[in-house]
Amino acid sequence: MKTIDDLLADGVSGKRVFVRADLNVPLDGTTITDDGRIRAVAPTIARLAEAGARVIVASHLGRPKGAPDPAFSLAPAAERLGDVLGRPVAFAADTVGDSAKSVTAALADGEVAVLENLRFNPGETSKDDAERGAFADELAALADVYVGDGFGAVHRKHASVFDLPARLPHAAGDLIATEVGVLKKLTEDVARPYAVVLGGAKVSDKLGVIDNLLGKADRILIGGGMAYTFLKAQGHEVGISLLQEDQVPVVQEYLKRAEAQGVEFVLPVDVLVAPEFPDLKTKAPANPTTVAADAIPADQEGLDIGPETRKLYAEKLADAATVFWNGPMGVFEHPDYAEGTRAVARALVDSPAFSVVGGGDSAAAVRTLGFDENAFGHISTGGGASLEYLEGKTLPGLAALED
C-alpha cells in the first residue's frame, strides 16, 4: 500500500489530487458540534497542499436519499476545514456537475476545494456495479491521483471508496495509515492483559466483534443498552430497558463459550433506572434510582451503569496493557446518566495501557465530557470500520488501496 510519503517523493506539484476524506460531522442545523474528523484529516490535506498539489476533497455526510438535501450539505464542513487549515477552501455546489468542474479546474497549485456531499448522487452508494462505476468515472475525470483518507467509510463498498481508486494512481493518507497501524496493535502481538469495553444501544451491532474477540481478549466489559440483553440472558428482569429478545439465545451461547475459553465477561452489578427516557433537549433533571442489576423493577428502564459497576470496571481496567473501547455506558448526553461513560474514560486516562477509543459515540463522549484527547493512545475516526476490522472482515476501502 503506497503512502503520502511515496506520492510526495514522486512529486505532486501541479497535480489534481482527489482526497476521499471523512467529513461526516454531527450538525445542529449548520453548526458543527464535533469537528474531530475534520481535524483528523487536515494534516494529510495540508501536506499535499504545501507540496503544490491541487487538492480536491470529497466526503459524504449523513444519509441523504441520493439527491441534494440542504440539511446534509458539506458547506459547514468546508468552512471549518478552511479554519483548521488556515487557508481558503473553495466549495463546489455539486459532485460532478458544472460547479465541481469549474471549481476544480480553477484550482492553482497549493489550493484546496471541497465537493458537495457525494451521497447526493445515487451512484455513490448504489449496489449496482455499473451505476457505481459510472459515477466513479465522472469523479476520476476531475483528478490525476487518488488518496484514500476517510477511514470512517472504508468498510463501505461505495464509488468514491472502492471503485475510484481502481481508476487512478492511489495511496493511503496519513490518517488511514495511522488507523490501520493502531488496529494491528489490537489484533497482532497484543500486549496483555487485553481488555475490551463494549457499550451502545444494540447487542446485534457488536455480535461479530464479540465472536472474534472471544479468542483474543482476556476480558470483555459490557455496558450501555446492550447490557440488558446480557442481563436477560442470565435470567434477570430488565423492566422496560432496551432489549433485543431475539438475541438472548446468541448471548447465552457467547457466555458459555467465554467461560469455556477462559475469557472473563464482566456485566453491570448495579444500574441507574427511571420510569422514562430523559429529555435530551432540555436536560431536565431525571432523578434516577440506583438498583442492583438483578433487581430492576418491571416498570423502570436502565439508563446507565451504577456506582459499584463504575468501581468494578475501573478495577478491571487498571492492570490492562491494551484496551479497546467502543460504545458509551449509558445515555451520556444527559448529565444524570453520564457518570458511567465518564468513569470508563477516566479509567483509561489513569491506566498505563495502550488505549483505543473506537470512534462513533465513544469519541463524541470523550470530547463532550471534556477529556484531553491526547490522554488516550488513539481516538479512532471510524466506529463501524474499527469494529469490522476487529471482526476480521476485509474492508473494501482498504483492499482498494492495496497494489
Q: Say how many C-beta atoms besides its own lie within 10 A of residue 236's C-beta.
A: 16
**333 φ/ψ angles, rounded to the nearest 5 degrees:** -65, -20
Q: Three cell numbers at 274?
A: 427511571
Amino acid identity at 139:
L
From start to end of 86-155, where are the E strands? 89-91, 112-114, 145-148
Q: Three cell numbers at 267?
A: 456485566
**266 φ/ψ angles, rounded to the nearest 5 degrees:** -115, 115
- Exactly one of 360, 382, 383, 397 is catalytic; which is it? 360
What is the spatial distance between Cα 77 and Cα 364, in angstroms, rounded to a whole number? 17
Q: Say how many C-beta atoms besides its own lie within 10 A of residue 257's C-beta.
A: 15
3-state helix, strand, coil in the chain (%, to 5): 40, 15, 40
392 is annotated as an active-site residue: no
Q: Bridge-partner residues for 89, per DSSP?
A: 112
**Closest among 110, 111, 64 to 92, alpha carbons compared:** 111
- Rg of the chain taking only CA atoms, in angstroms: 22
**Closest among 65, 164, 62 to 120, alpha carbons compared:** 65
Q: Three cell numbers at 333?
A: 448526553
Q: Say how many C-beta atoms besides its own lie within 10 A of residue 367's C-beta.
A: 16
157 is annotated as an active-site residue: no
H/E element holding 256? helix 248-261
What is the spatial distance between Cα 59 and Cα 61, in angstroms, rounded to a whole number? 7
Q: How many angstroms from the chain centroid is the CA of residue 58?
A: 18
104 burial (CB, 10 Å; 0-12 / 13-18 / 19+) is buried
Specify the residue for cell string 430488565.
Answer: 238
- Exactly one of 202, 216, 346, 367 is catalytic; which is it? 202
202 is annotated as an active-site residue: yes
Point out the residues that are catalytic.
Answer: 37, 202, 360, 384
